[in-house]
Structures are given as C-alpha cells and as structure tokens.
Structure 1
Amino acid sequence: MSASKLKLLSFSGNSRVLHLTWLAFFISFVVWFNHAPLMVFIRDSMGLTSQQVSTLLILNVALTIPARIVVGMLVDKFGPRVMYSLLLGISSLICFFFALAQSFEQMALARFMLGFVGAGFVIGIRMISEWFPAKQVGLAEGIYGGWGNFGSAAAAMVLPAIALLFGGDNGWRYALGLTGAIALVYAFIYYFSVSDTPKGSTYFKPKKTGAMEVTSKGDFVLYILMSIPLYAALALLTWKLSPAGVSLLSATASQLIYALLAVLFAWQLYHIVKVNKDIFHKPVPAIHRYKFKQVAVLNLGYLATFGAELAVVSMLPLFFSDTFGISAVQAGILASAFAFMNLVSRPCGGLFSDRLGRKRTLTLSLAGAAMGFFLMGQMDSSWPLVLAVLVTMACSFFVQAGQGAVFAVVPLIQRRLTGQIAGMAGAYGNVGGVVFLTVLSFVSPQVFFWVICTVAALTMVVVQLMDEPRGQMAEVLPDGTVQMIDVH
C-alpha cells in the first residue's frame, strides 16, 4: 500500500477515522485559543489591565507541558477513543467556567486549566498510528496535525463575528460558551463513532505505567536528562511572572511553585526508576529494544519547529505593524499567513517523509527553516511588504513541514509507547515556545529570529544522529506471542 492510495475524499475505513480525529483536534484547538480573538471584548467588559491580559495569555499554555506528558501515558493505557472523548467533555466544562467568570481570578484559574485541552494533539497521534500503515502514516499524521492546528486560525476568523452577532457586553461569553457546547456534543459523537484499532487488531499497552519504558542503561540516563528541560521551562515561566520578571506572582507564590516543581521532578524520577529498574539486573532481549536517542532527537526537532511557530505567531502581527507602519487589522491578516500554511505544509512534511525518507525530510525542513528565519532577521522597513510576506510564508512552510516530519517518525519507534513519545515531543514544542518568547523579551525581533535560526541549524546537525526507521518493531500479544509491525 502506498501513500498515494490514502483515500482523502472517502468517509469509510481508516479515512473516516482520520476525518473524525482531525476534527476532534480542530475543535480542541478552537477551545484552547477561543479567548485570543475575543480579548478586546473581554478586556473592555471585565476592565482588565494590560498585565492581566498578558497573564491570561501566558497561563493558557502553562499547563500544556505537563498535561501532554500525563495524557500521553493515559492514552497508551486507556486508548484514544476514551481519552479524546473525556478531554473534549472536561474541556467544555472548563470553557463554560471561563465564559461565566465574574472576576480576573476566576478567569485566570479557568485559563490555566484550559491548557489541559492542548494535550489533545497527542491522543490523535496514537489513534492515527493504529489505523494507518507505515507507508501512509506520515501523510495521515500530517493531515491530522495540519488541519487540526487550523482550529486556532478558524477561531480568530469566526468568533469575533459570533460575539458581535450575539451583541451586548456579554456577546463574548456566548461565543465562548458556543465553542464549549460544540466540544461537549462532539465528545459523544467521537466516542460512538470510532474504535481504537481496526477490527481484529490488537491495541498494545505499556507493560508498566508511571513513566516511559527504556531498554538500556544509557537510555535510562538520557531519559532523565531529557526530562529536566520540561521542568526548567515551567520554572522559567514562573520566573517570568515573579517579582524578578513582570511581578504578576508574589515572591511567596513563586517560591511555592519552584518547590512544587522540585517535588514533581523527584516524583517523576522515582517512577522512572521504578518502571525501568529491571534493566540494571538483566538485559532486554534485542527484539524488544528501541533507541531512546530517536525520542531525544524528535523532542529537539519539535522544539525547533512547533516552539518557533508558537513564539512567532504570538509576535508577528505587532512586528509587521511596527516595521511597516500598517494597521493592526492589516498586520493581523498578513501575519495569519504563517498559521494558514498549516493546511498544506504539515501534510507535505508527512508525505515527503513517507516517500523521500524521514531523516532526509526532517533535515531539509530544518535547513529551510534556518534559512527562512535568517532572512526574517534581515527584514526592516526598507523591504517591500509583499516580499516580507512571501519570505514569512516560505519560512512557515519549512517550519510546519518539519513538524509533519517529526510526527511521521513518532509512531515508528515503539507502538505501545506512541502516546508517551508523542506527549514528550509535544511538550518540548511548548518548551520551545516558552524559551523563544522569553528571549524575545530581552532582544530585538531581528535577534529573536536569528536565535531561532541558530537553534534550527544546530538541531539539523543533531538530526544526523537519528536512525532512519527500517525493518520491523516487535510487540507482544496478550497470549504471549510476538507480532512484528512494519516501520517502512
């Protein structure tokens, strides 16, 4: 079966599951970013200060880092059908809470909790990997990620009009409530419309839960090292909100969060040891081994691509407005070109991975992204606006193709751990967003673009350590027999 035979216009078999799942991801992104295009209405209605607005924007992504790790573990254990339905249902209730909030404190708590919905991405990665063979999985994952990601752009285009349609000071509340209602209804639709695997297939689960399984002592050390940046990013976020940053958290609250992060890291370290202690006593049979360096490389690849996208989408409208002297509305429309490319570029990254090789596609994508950000760092008011937009779109293509290339590899490492691997890589994307936005607070936009260029170039070098997925991976059936799964 070749990638070209994916029946995109069909609504049966695995194509049906693909469409139902990218729509679930699309709705989760609408809910996750439903506040951003309505922030003017929310600010005026609630009398928020600029610092309070900034706080809501930051809190919206804070919980996503740990949520993607936890949800990745849960989806491997309970399956994507149950987890996506639960995520959409729970998120709808939090969305209603935000829509009904009567104080900034209530809004802040709701926005922090809604970071949970950003974990929906990793659920679909496991679902798609179960329904598509290795030769199609890159394109299928690319369509899932690219079309689902478009939910944030759709929210930006539609929700302000819906708020105005309802009218009055509470129009924004009705618009937000509508997105929650859609998520709640779709939670039931999804649950009764899909299954975790095709009929007759086995859903492989981790042998142990609480942490990712590794298969060698070296991988055990690497796993711990790769876990540190997840907590460091949350600590950086706390510092940014503390008196040392923008003073949105008290010194006491900041210290409590630092202490909590230390406890959480110790808790994860305990579970990593608990799950993997056997590797110190007896070697894992060769047929069941996988290389954690594959996961580490993909983590960095997603940091350099999705992390860059999160940061750039946040600052691009203001950059265009300040640089070219255009209105905020014009700048917003032009800057949206970066997100719009998702519809095509992420599926292309997956398709090229299926056809040209996964390592080669990720390498070329990062090279193109590095060149794109280098050119964006050269932009100033002397550039023709058309050229600036074209360079931005070209850069965006390579950035998002790189995201597609990363998740064309994730399902081909170890099937039973796909949710956890996707969760960790996804969390690294948010780590990149936090780091790059923190850099932006200290430097000019031009230097900011060059920093991302440097990270993309260095990651391209690191990608050369990755092994091209070949051959088969082994999973154990419930009766003890071993099933071999093709990975190329």
Structure 2
Amino acid sequence: MLKGLLSFKNEYRTLHLTWFAFFLTFVCWFNFAPFASIIGKELSLDESQIKTLLICNLAITIPARIIIGALLDKYGPRITYSLLLMFAVIPCIATALAQDFNQMVIARLLMGIVGSGFVLGIRMVSEWFPPKDIGMAQGIYGGWGNFGAFGAEFALPLIAGGTAFLAGGNANWRLTMVLTGVVAAIYGVVYFNSVTDTPPGKEYQRPKKYGAMEVTSAKDFYGLLIMNFGLIFALGLLAWRLAQQKLHFLNAGQMYFIWFLLAALYAYQSYQAWLVNRDVVLGRKKFAPSERYEFSQVALLQFTYIT
C-alpha cells in the first residue's frame, strides 16, 4: 500500500482527494484560534467571552456529526462532503463580518458544523479500500486531515500579515477568514466532480431504516436513550453559559426556552429511536448472532474519544 500512496490512481486518488477535503474543513474550523487575541482587542472582548467563543466553535459539532452521519447514510459521502465544504464559506464570511460578541457567537456556532467532516471521509475510505488496508488508509486520512489544525495555526497568520497593507497595517484576519471559506467552497465543487461513493461495480449500502441508530437488544435501546441524553445535557450547559451575566448573550427567559426546545428534541429523538427499534424492544424481532453487537462497545468508544 505504501507504494500506491505515491500514485494518484483508483483508490489512492480518492484517498488523497478526501484527506485534503478533511484538511480544509479543519483549516476553517480552527481559523479563529490564531487570531483570538487580535479579534478580542478589535471587538473589545474579555477573556471569558473569548473562551466562550472557543467553546461555541466545538459545541455544535456534537449534534452536527449525528446529523451529518444521517445525511451520509442517505446521500453518500460524495454529495454530503461536497455540500459541507461549500457550506463552510457561510460561517467564514459571518466570522469576517462580525462586529460584536453576539454576532461572533452565531458565526462560530455555525462553524461547528464544518467540524463534522471527519465521519464522511471515514465512510469514503472504508468503501474504497479492502479490509486489510482500511486501518492504514483511515490513519492517513485522519492524520493528514487533522494536520489542518496546524495549517490554520501556521499559514493563516502569514496570510493575514502578508495582506496587512489592505487593513491599514494591521493583521488582516477578516480577509483571511473569507479566503479559507472560499477555498473550501471551490474545493467542494472539485470534490463533487472528482470522486464517486464506491469503486466501479460496488453498490453503496444504505440503511433500511432512517431516523435513529438500530440496536440489537432491548437493553441496548435503553443505553441508546442514555447516550442521547448526554448530547442534550451538553447543549443545555452551553445555553446556561451563554446566559451568564458577563456574556449578555441570552437572558433567563431565552435560556429556559432553549432548554424546552432541547427537551422536545430529546423526546423526538427517543420517539424516532422507538420507531426504528420497537420490534426489538417488544421481542418481535431477533437478530442472528452474526448480526448482533453490544451497544456498550459503542458507549466505550464514545468515552474513549471524549478522553
């Protein structure tokens, strides 16, 4: 496989195009951090507001990866990744145009969606490589893609400094933000026209049921409900933080309304999970031993990723 990496044919072509897509999503996702102090001074933000913006940059990625995963199952990685790259230009421009803390919060919450690209490439790579090579291929995809965080930290300040003459001698972070989004959007078009979901002759497998994760036992169904609550709880904490007096982004009434919406979302998620898994919970459907899995394994992977 290592020899094949030097080529740009067949599955290796798809791998290179895909890791670069992941690289660009990370450049966009982490384009705030290199300019945090500059933006803080220009928008008169205090330390707590800057920390909150960094949290906002990550928070929506949690539910976004679930939504993106559902879209991936339905439409495939080619379409979904291309649209995500094109979408990146919106929060990039919103960040560049922000004039105060509130506008910046909205921009960075939207940017969190861009950080969900990881799951798309994992599926694309697994479709194109045989089982014996999937581990290395996904490692290359994830490694070079995550390198986008370093790319943002290293390259973006150079671009901002190089175009400072357009901003009165100050680091031109606003233009740099726009450029990252424009490049990602252009590459989204390139990616759409350059890859396919699967190799020739292989059919893309879509789930039979949409709306929630399918489990293989009643016990696992209740585990799924518990894990879904963790997501809602994390978003509720973010709403509480944004309602703190120092930040002045949400008032108490708005915070409680968001909590109500989150509770409604959890109820909807639980209902969708019930629709998908009710036959298993009621004992009307049994999975063959070869098709079963322990949901505890999924939970352990989640906790491992958190740590």
What TM-score do the two structures reach when normalised by structure 1?
Answer: 0.59
The answer to whether the Cα contact below 8 Å between 2:15 and 2:137 also exists between their aligned partners in 1 is yes
Residue of structure 2 in register with 1:291 after alignment: 294
Report the alpha carbon displacement of residue 87 of structure 1 after superposing the two structures with TM. 0.3
Report the alpha carbon displacement of residue 246 of structure 1 after superposing the two structures with TM. 6.8
Aligned to 2:45, what secondary structure does the other structure show?
coil
One of 145, 156, 161 as aligned partner of 1:159? 156
**What are the Cα deviations for residues 353-395 of structure 1, in whole angstroms up to 9, with x where unaligned?**
xxxxxxxxxxxxxxxxxxxxxxxxxxxxxxxxxxxxxxxxxxx
Report the alpha carbon displacement of residue 242 of structure 1 after superposing the two structures with TM. 3.5
**What are the Cα deviations for residues 288-312 of structure 1, in whole angstroms up to 9, with x where unaligned?**
43332332221122112xxxxxxxx
The answer to whether structure 1 residue 33 and structure 2 residue 34 are counterparts is no
Residue of structure 2 in register with 1:195 after alignment: 196
Report the alpha carbon displacement of residue 204 of structure 1 after superposing the two structures with TM. 0.6
Report the alpha carbon displacement of residue 244 of structure 1 after superposing the two structures with TM. 8.5
Report the alpha carbon displacement of residue 183 of structure 1 after superposing the two structures with TM. 0.3
The answer to whether the Cα contact below 8 Å between 1:238 and 1:257 also exists between their aligned partners in 2 is yes
The answer to whether structure 1 residue 80 and structure 2 residue 83 are counterparts is no
Opposite residue 85 of structure 1, the aligned amino acid is S
Residue of structure 1 in register with 2:205 after alignment: 204
Aligned to 2:6, what secondary structure does the other structure show?
coil
Distance in 1 (CA, whole Å) between partners of 2:95 and 2:69 is: 25
Report the alpha carbon displacement of residue 92 of structure 1 after superposing the two structures with TM. 1.2
**What are the Cα deviations for residues 455-479 of structure 1, in whole angstroms up to 9, with x where unaligned?**
xxxxxxxxxxxxxxxxxxxxxxxxx
Distance in 2 (CA, whole Å) between partners of 1:8 and 1:110 is: 37
Distance in 2 (CA, whole Å) between partners of 1:151 and 1:239 is: 31
Opposite residue 198 of structure 1, the aligned amino acid is P
One of 16, 20, 28 as aligned partner of 1:19? 16
Report the alpha carbon displacement of residue 250 of structure 1 after superposing the two structures with TM. 2.6
The answer to whether the Cα contact below 8 Å between 1:239 and 1:245 also exists between their aligned partners in 2 is no
Distance in 2 (CA, whole Å) between partners of 1:226 and 1:103 is: 35
Distance in 2 (CA, whole Å) between partners of 1:247 and 1:105 is: 8
The answer to whether structure 1 residue 126 and structure 2 residue 146 are counterparts is no
Distance in 1 (CA, whole Å) between partners of 2:279 and 2:41 is: 58
The answer to whether structure 1 residue 231 and structure 2 residue 232 are counterparts is yes
Distance in 1 (CA, whole Å) between partners of 2:49 and 2:227 is: 33
- The range that moved more, 32-41 or 224-233, is 224-233
The answer to whether the Cα contact below 8 Å between 2:22 and 2:145 also exists between their aligned partners in 1 is yes
Q: 1:97 to 1:246 in 2, by over 3 A?
A: closer
Using the aligned pairs only, state the percent identity.
Answer: 49
- The range that moved more, 292-301 or 66-75, is 292-301
Report the alpha carbon displacement of residue 12 of structure 1 after superposing the two structures with TM. 1.0
Residue of structure 2 in register with 1:89 after alignment: 86
Report the alpha carbon displacement of residue 287 of structure 1 after superposing the two structures with TM. 4.4
Distance in 1 (CA, whole Å) between partners of 2:135 and 2:248 is: 44
Aligned to 1:197, what secondary structure does the other structure show?
coil
Opposite residue 212 of structure 1, the aligned amino acid is M
Distance in 2 (CA, whole Å) between partners of 1:106 and 1:162 is: 24
Residue of structure 1 in register with 2:180 after alignment: 179
Residue of structure 1 in register with 2:142 after alignment: 145
After TM superposition, list the pairs within 5 Å mapping 1:237-386 onto structure 2: 237-243=238-244, 249-279=250-280, 280=282, 281-304=284-307
After TM superposition, list the pairs within 5 Å mapping 1:438-453 onto structure 2: none
**What are the Cα deviations for residues 13-71 of structure 1, in whole angstroms up to 9, with x where unaligned?**
11111111111001000001101101222223333333332222121111111001111
After TM superposition, list the pairs within 5 Å mapping 1:426-465 onto structure 2: none
The answer to whether the Cα contact below 8 Å between 1:33 and 1:152 also exists between their aligned partners in 2 is yes
After TM superposition, list the pairs within 5 Å mapping 1:462-473 onto structure 2: none
Aligned to 1:154, what secondary structure does the other structure show?
helix
The answer to whether the Cα contact below 8 Å between 1:55 and 1:248 also exists between their aligned partners in 2 is no
The answer to whether the Cα contact below 8 Å between 2:161 and 2:171 also exists between their aligned partners in 1 is no
Q: 1:273 to 1:6 in 2, by over 3 A?
A: farther
Q: 1:5 to 1:175 in 2, by over 3 A?
A: closer
User: Cα RMSD (Å) of the superposition?
Assistant: 2.0
What TM-score do the two structures reach when normalised by structure 2?
Answer: 0.92
The answer to whether the Cα contact below 8 Å between 2:102 and 2:249 also exists between their aligned partners in 1 is no
The answer to whether the Cα contact below 8 Å between 1:92 and 1:180 also exists between their aligned partners in 2 is yes
Residue of structure 2 in register with 1:107 after alignment: 104
Aligned to 1:11, what secondary structure does the other structure show?
coil
Report the alpha carbon displacement of residue 110 of structure 1 after superposing the two structures with TM. 1.1
The answer to whether structure 1 residue 218 and structure 2 residue 219 are counterparts is yes
Distance in 1 (CA, whole Å) between partners of 2:161 and 2:245 is: 39
Report the alpha carbon displacement of residue 241 of structure 1 after superposing the two structures with TM. 3.5
**What are the Cα deviations for residues 133-154 of structure 1, in whole angstroms up to 9, with x where unaligned?**
2221111111111111111111
One of 62, 65, 69 as aligned partner of 1:65? 62
Q: 1:269 to 1:15 in 2, by over 3 A?
A: same
**What are the Cα deviations for residues 196-255 of structure 1, in whole angstroms up to 9, with x where unaligned?**
011111111111111011122122122222222122222233333443897754322222
Q: 1:261 to 1:244 in 2, by over 3 A?
A: farther
Q: 1:274 to 1:244 in 2, by over 3 A?
A: farther
Consecutive unaligned residues of structure 1, counting only runs of 5 or more, are 305-488
The answer to whether the Cα contact below 8 Å between 2:64 and 2:116 also exists between their aligned partners in 1 is yes
